[in-house]
Amino acid sequence: MSDINELSFEAAFAELEAIITQLESGDLSLDDSVTLFERGRKLSERCQALLDQADLRISQLTADGRIEP
């Protein structure tokens, strides 16, 4: 498994979707389910942080395309 903080939004979201599918299957042991759930929470937080950063960048754009600090 790669470092979550290095993942792009797309990679983190794809991994999160895969984890959700695995958890929904019900074929995992309790320990494996908990481990995957923990990673899923971290991936979800990473995705949200990247979305928040993108939202901030968009809100800083001016009408002429410049970015205001």
Q: Is 39 helix (H, G, I), strand (E, B) or coil?
A: helix
pTM (two decimals)? 0.82
Which residue ranges make up each domain of the chain? 7-59
Percentage with pLDDT > 70 across the chain: 90
- Given this model, what pLDDT does residue 69 score? 60
Report yes or no: 43 and 16 within 8 Å, Cβ to Cβ. Answer: yes
- The whole-angstrom distance between residue 61's C-alpha and the CA centroid of its chain comes to 24
Phi, psi of 67 (to 5 degrees): -105, 125
- Given this model, what pLDDT does residue 25 score? 95
- Given this model, what pLDDT does residue 63 score? 67
Three-class HEC string of 3-32? CHHHCCHHHHHHHHHHHHHHHHHCCCCHHH
Q: Is 61 helix (H, G, I), strand (E, B) or coil?
A: strand
Q: Using one digit for the tens of pLDDT, what is the confidence trace for 29-40?
A: 999 999 999 999
